[in-house]
Every structure is written in C-alpha cells, then in structure tokens.
Structure 1
Amino acid sequence: MKLSVIIPVYNEKGTIKEVINKVKAVRVEKEIIVVDDCSSDGTQELLKKEEGIKVLYHPQNMGKGAAVRSGLRHIRGDLVIIQDADLEYEPEDYPQLIKPILEGSANVVYGSRFKKKGEFFSALYYWANKFLTLVTNILYNSMLSDMETCYKVFKAEVIRDIEIESNRFNFEPEITAKVLKRGYKILEVPISYRGRGRKMGKKIAFKDGLEALYCLIKYRLLN
C-alpha cells in the first residue's frame, strides 16, 4: 500500500528540510505532499529546491486545517498520514503506525505520545491535551489517550468520506469527532515525541484550546 504524507508548513525554515529528509528516508512506498501556508521566512525558497515531492502554495495564511484539506485533494495513496514540520514527531515511527492497517486490524490509527515517554516542553500543553482527550472520551464513548496528536493515519477512503471544515488547529478535534461518530474505532500505538515551546516556534495558543473544546461539543450535538 502507498502512503500519502501531508506536511502542512508555515514559517518552518529552520526545520522543514530536515523533516523532508527524514520522511524520504523512511522505507515505505510513499508520496510527499507539502502545503506551504504562505510562509514569509524563506521556507518557500527552500521548498522550491526540493526534488521528489509535490509542493502546494497557499496565497494567504489559512491555518493547518486548510492546509491539510488542500493536501487531501491531491493524494494518490491508499493510506494518509499528517506530518508536522517542526521536528516534534519522528517519521521513523511510520512503519509501526501503518502496521495495524496493513494487517487489517484498524482503519484509523493515532500515534500516542502518552503510551511512550516523551518530552513535553510545557505543563500547560500537557494538561490541556489531557483535558481535551478526556472530554473526547466522555462525549464520544472512546478510550483515547492522545486526541491532539499530530500523527493520525487513515485509510484513504475513510478520510475522503469526511468533510473537513476547520481551518486552524481545531482540525484535530473535528476529524476525531467525525471519525468516532461514523463508528470507526481509533487504534493507538506509542510514538516518540520531543516537544517545543512558543520561543522555539510552537504556534498553538490558549484560544486554540477553547476552540477545540467548542468544536468537540458542537460536533457531538450536530447530526
């Protein structure tokens, strides 16, 4: 099966090349789709020099959810994974992430940072994620440990069947809510993680947590 790797990127000049090289090094059949969300720090110039990848450019900054949506329009693989561009997640985890789907035991797999000891930079991010995951489990009768993880793997037909509306970081709770409401079980596998803070470029803010909470409640109530 071919894996489509979607990499949303915004102002990640310092890490994007290394991320792409790490993804290329993973020994699975794959295509790499990078969606630049109107970077202004020189990221675009680096991407134009890359070979063996497909790059899409947004004319204006729209957010992670919008970037993922753009990437999904161009996938040709059987499986899809979202890869952040900031080196917090290790592409070397791909084989264990796609293994349950290849074996036929899952249609959706999340990489959990809590099933394997990771380096969380901020206690606030840690507990906010724990809280949002708890809310997800209560509202959707699930048993997740890491709803906000970047590493989400889907069979292509599953993700194509879901309309993504969110433009920003509330893509994570939206896609989780819609997957669970459709009756898919999400299998989690442990992954490596190396967190970073806002001074290191992390872009998630407190308001994103509030929007995620609203999103979880909204999609629980909607048909």
Structure 2
Amino acid sequence: MKISVVLPAKNESGAIAQTIYQIQELNLITEILVVNDGSTDDTKEISVKAGATVISHPYSKGNGAAIKSGARKASGDIIVFMDADGQHSPKDIPRLLAKIEEGYDLVVGARQKGSQASLGRGIANSLYNFLATYMTEHKVEDLTSGFRAVRAEKFKEFLYLLPNGFSYPTTSTMAFFRAGYSVTYVPINAAKRIGQSHINPLKDGVRFFLIIFKIATLFSPLKMFLPISVILFMMATGWYGYTLWEVGRFTNMSALLYTGSIMIFLMGLISEQITALMYKEK
C-alpha cells in the first residue's frame, strides 16, 4: 500500500525539518506533504529543502482546511496525519499502520497522562472523551488527537463535513463511528511542542462548547435532546401535581414546561433524520 503523510504547518520552521527527516528514516512512506497554511517564516523553504512536497495556502485558512488540502492531494491508500511541531514522534507511525493492517479504518494516537499541553486542555479533552463515549457507546480514548492513520478512500467521504478550524479530529472520528467504520486507539506520548502554540485560551474556550454540541449532532442528536426533554416533562408533571394539590388548577408554568418538552423532543427527532441524510451513501 502507498502511504502518505500530511503535515499541516503554520510557522513551524523550528521543527519541520527534524520531523520530515525522522519520517524519511522510516523507509515506509511514499510521500510527505507539508501544507503551508499561510506561514510568514521559512516553513515552505525548509520543507522543500528537506525533501517534502509543499502545498501552500495564500493565507491562513485553519488547521482543518490544511488537512483537507493535504487529503485531496495525497495519492496514498493510507494517510497519516500528524503535527509538524515536534509533539508527535514519527517512530509511532509503524504502530498505527500495524492496526490498519489488522483491518481498522481509523487508528488514533491516544495521548497518555502527562502528554497534555496544559491542565485546562487535559480536563477539556477528558470531557470530550466522556461525552463521545456516551454518544457512541464505544470507549473513546482521545477524541481530539491530531495524530492518526486512516484509509484514504473512507476519509475523503467526509471532507465536506470537516471544519476549517482545529476541531477536525473530533468531526472525523465521530463521522467514522456514525458510518459504522472500525476505529481503534494506540497509546502514544506527546512531547512538548517546538515554537509557539496557535491556540487562544479565550477563543478556544468558546470552541469547547461548540464542539460539545457538534459531537452530539454529528452522531445522534436525539441522545442529547431526549434527556433534556424528559427532564422538562418531569418538571412539568411535578409542578402540575404541586399546583393541583395547593390551588386545584393547571398553571401556565406547567403548560410552558410541557410545551418545551415536546418541542425539544421534536427538534431532536428532526435533527436525527437530517443527520441520517448527511451519511446517506452517495
């Protein structure tokens, strides 16, 4: 099988050459594609000199956009995605490919404890994993890891779903689960990145809540909407029982809660049908 490695890179001149050389030393890879996402340093020149094929964006479009550009250009049967900042070790690539050979469609490098960039991001990732495990009913060890090997043909089915920002790992993983493809995890240890992080704590704090809803709507919206609907229905019934006992009538608050419960359930039902259409076989 032909194997392509895609490295999204924005101002990664400090680590990109080392990463490319380490990948080449494996003697397994057919092509190395560096997607230069509007870098203002020497990332492009260094990558070309190191022997990689460079795809350049005229301006920064985002990590997800770089992944999509690389996937469209890749000629391999298997695509390995990894960071260009030195966090991911190319020595782990054979371990991911071994799982692909066993028959899996997506293999994710799951970061172990102590490999998270910060305590806050570690807590956020734990919450992502918990929610994704609830939604899929499969153990999700690392939903947001960008180090992964995937069958190219199946990954390209979902390019239209992937966002241009940093949440492409979340979207692609949930899409594979929804489509019934085989997903597994390989434990890895991520090193400290070389250079400055592109993640903004305030901006990405908002992104956290958006990802929570995206996880739910990508896989099974009804699993998110139904518990809320049931809680509102129970509150309405409890309030109705209280007011019937105290004042002997049905109040507007009970009507509002019952109506909200029904509306949220119907929203979940409609969203479930729309999600099913998104994964319809073309």
Offset at residue 138 of structure 1 (A)? 1.0
Indicate if the aligned counterparts of 2:33 and 2:53 stay in contact, CA closer than 8 A: yes
Aligned letter for 1:178?
A: A
Indicate if the aligned counterparts of 2:26 and 2:91 stay in contact, CA closer than 8 A: yes
In terms of Rg, which structure is larger?
2
Q: Which residue of 1 aligns with 2:165?
A: 168
Indicate if the aligned counterparts of 2:111 and 2:187 stay in contact, CA closer than 8 A: yes
* Within-5 A mapping of 1:73-222: 73-104=72-103, 106-114=104-112, 118-163=114-159, 164-196=161-193, 200-205=195-200, 206-220=205-219, 221=221, 222=275
Work out which structure has the larger RCO, using CA pairs closer than 8 Å and 6 or more positions apart in sequence.
Answer: 1
Distance 1:209 1:118 in 2: 21
Indicate if the aligned counterparts of 1:118 and 1:194 stay in contact, CA closer than 8 A: no
Distance 1:122 1:3 in 2: 32
Offset at residue 127 of structure 1 (A)? 1.0
With over 3 angstroms needed to count, the CA separation of the structure-2 counterparts of 1:124 and 1:156, relative to structure 1, is same
Instruction: Say which SS state the counterpart of residue 210 (structure 1) adopts.
Output: helix
Indicate if the aligned counterparts of 1:8 and 1:85 stay in contact, CA closer than 8 A: yes
Q: Which residue of 1 aligns with 2:43?
A: 43
Offset at residue 196 of structure 1 (A)? 4.4
Point out 4+ residue stretches in structure 1 off by more than 4 angstroms. none
In the superposition, the TM-score normalised over structure 2's length comes to 0.72
Distance 1:81 1:118 in 2: 23
Instruction: Say which SS state the counterpart of residue 167 (structure 1) adopts.
Output: coil
Q: Any idea what the Cα deviations from partners look like across 1:123-180, whole Å, max 9, x if unmatched?
A: 1111111111111111122211111111121112211222343001111111111111
Q: Which residue of 2 aligns with 1:6?
A: 6
Offset at residue 71 of structure 1 (A)? 0.7
Instruction: Say which SS state the counterpart of residue 162 (structure 1) adopts.
Output: helix
Runs of at least 5 residues in structure 1 that lack an aligned partner in the other structure: none
Offset at residue 203 of structure 1 (A)? 1.9
Aligned letter for 1:170?
A: S
Aligned letter for 2:44?
A: Q
Q: Which residue of 1 aligns with 2:57?
A: 58
Q: Percent identity?
A: 29
Distance 1:161 1:89 in 2: 26
Number of corresponding residues: 217
Instruction: Say which SS state the counterpart of residue 127 (structure 1) adopts.
Output: helix
Aligned letter for 2:115?
A: E
With over 3 angstroms needed to count, the CA separation of the structure-2 counterparts of 1:207 and 1:46, relative to structure 1, is farther
